[in-house]
Amino acid sequence: MERLRERPVLPGARGRIEAIDLARGIAIALMILSHSVSGLLGIGEVPEWGMVPIHLLTKFSSSLFIMVFGIALAVAFLGKTDAADWPRRRLKLLLRGLEVLFWYKVLTVVEMLPLYAPGDILDTLLYQRFPIWVEILGFYAIALLWIPWVLPLWRRMPLWSRLASPLLIALLAGWLERHAGFWGIEPLKALLVEDDDHYAWGQLSRLPLVMLGLLIGEAALRWVHEPASRHRLVAGLAAAGVAMLLGFLALSSGNLDAALIAVAWNEGKHPPGLAFMLFSLGGALIILALCLLGGGRAARLLKPLTLIGSDALSAFIFHIVVIFLILRLLLESWQVYSYPQVLGIGGLLILATAGWIALLRWKRERS
């Protein structure tokens, strides 16, 4: 009981935790593959063997990406919230949020140029509607503008409340999504708890994943450099992931094929449904456990993915520009290639993104 009342006591981070970069890189690589298929071919043209299992596996991406966001906040900033220079660090996060918001708006135009009229693009820039492929960047931009203000509060919360918060926030967000009117302002509802008519990532509905990441990041700071403790953390994450996937199987009620196809078609992604989240988060936890188990050796072995994860914003900008501005708009590549060819383009784009990040790093080191 005493342990449940304790507040985080966090050691200082000893450099970057490469396993976290690897996990983030895997999330972005899965996202690039998904965006290549949907942006150049369209989901309706994907053959059955492409929907399950290939496109199905990309559903781990969003949960993993958001969870790693929370982990990174814990590793880099949570332990500094009581330091004298916390206002400077908080300002750094806020400025990063403004930077992400700028690129979110730029990439919204890039995404929509091949598809929509100028009036529709303007409406989207003014939050009257939402893009699809770049909308997760909008979630991060807004989150970075308010989460830094509550990190000190999270740091002061006892363990029992930190453990309970993700479930309580998920229940609250679900109730608000079903019952709150939000004064008839659909974009506001979409931004907070998501809406059936808008493809948006809700701040409250996805906050439980950020909180889960904060908890995992706290544990990683304490244990990742101690083999025995790291193995316990890995086992716990893997067990939680397997339990969620088993829960998804149980929820399928003997009709597994239909349930897998429904997830592949994004049913239950916006707003988050139980079956989709069990599958997505379960797979994300297992991937994270494997990354932590492999540690620095796995990060070096899978260097292109680790590079992508080390600079997520640049990776996101690069792949969206290539898919929508270069391939779709300038080269008119919409539904020109077959599904296997689009998969190949996605794979090459993952490698090209890693090369772009390496070039940016090389340039920074010599400037």
* Unique residue bearing structure tokens 């490469």: 18
Domain membership of residue 24 (yes or no) is yes
pLDDT at 16: 77
Domain membership of residue 2 (yes or no) is no
What percent of the chain is predicted at pLDDT more than 90? 89
Domain membership of residue 364 (yes or no) is no
Pick the residue with more confidence: 11 or 166? Answer: 166
Domain membership of residue 225 (yes or no) is yes
CA–CA distance, 290 with 309 (Å, rounded to integer): 15
The answer to whether 131 and 106 have CB atoms below 8 angstroms apart is no
pLDDT at 144: 98
Question: How does pLDDT run across 221-233, given as a tens digit for each residue?
Answer: 888 778 888 899 9
C-alpha 216, offset from chain centre? 15
Domain membership of residue 247 (yes or no) is yes
CA–CA distance, 154 with 172 (Å, rounded to integer): 18
- Asked whether residue 93 carries a pLDDT value surpassing 90, the answer given is yes
Domain count, the chain: 1
* Cα torsion angle, 234, 239, 240, 244, sign: positive
The string of DSSP letters for 249-264 reads HHHTTT-HHHHHHHHH
Residue 102 to residues 94, 106, 223, 275, 315, Cα–Cα distance (Å): 13, 6, 36, 34, 15
CA–CA distance, 17 with 252 (Å, rounded to integer): 37
Domain membership of residue 365 (yes or no) is no
pLDDT at 221: 86
Question: How does pLDDT run across 246-268, given as a tens digit for each residue?
Answer: 999 999 987 999 999 999 999 99
What value does the CA radius of gyration of the chain take, rounded to a whole number of Å? 20
pLDDT at 222: 83
- Asked whether residue 13 carries a pLDDT value surpassing 80, the answer given is no
The arithmetic mean of pLDDT across residues 311-315, rounded, is: 97
Question: How does pLDDT run across 116-175, given as a tens digit for each residue?
Answer: 999 999 999 999 999 999 999 999 999 999 999 999 999 999 999 999 999 999 999 999
- Asked whether residue 14 carries a pLDDT value surpassing 80, the answer given is no
pLDDT at 164: 96
Question: How does pLDDT run across 293-310, given as a tens digit for each residue?
Answer: 999 999 999 999 999 999
- Asked whether residue 2 carries a pLDDT value surpassing 70, the answer given is no
- Give the up-direction half-sphere exposure of residue 286: CA atoms within 13 A in the CB hemisphere: 14
pLDDT at 282: 98
CA–CA distance, 32 with 26 (Å, rounded to integer): 10
Domain membership of residue 100 (yes or no) is yes
Domain membership of residue 362 (yes or no) is no
C-alpha 339, offset from chain centre? 25
For all residues of the chain together, what is the average pLDDT? Answer: 94
Burial class (CB in 10 A: 0-12, 13-18, 19+), 54: middle
The answer to whether 30 and 60 have CB atoms below 8 angstroms apart is yes
Question: How does pLDDT run across 26-42, given as a tens digit for each residue?
Answer: 999 999 999 999 999 99
Q: What is the 8-class DSSP label of residue 13?
A: P
pTM of the model: 0.95
* Cα torsion angle, 265, 138, 172, 241, sign: positive
Domain limits for position 228: 12-357
Tokens at 97, concatenated: 């949020």
- Asked whether residue 25 carries a pLDDT value surpassing 70, the answer given is yes
Residue 169 to residues 175, 203, 331, Cα–Cα distance (Å): 10, 11, 45
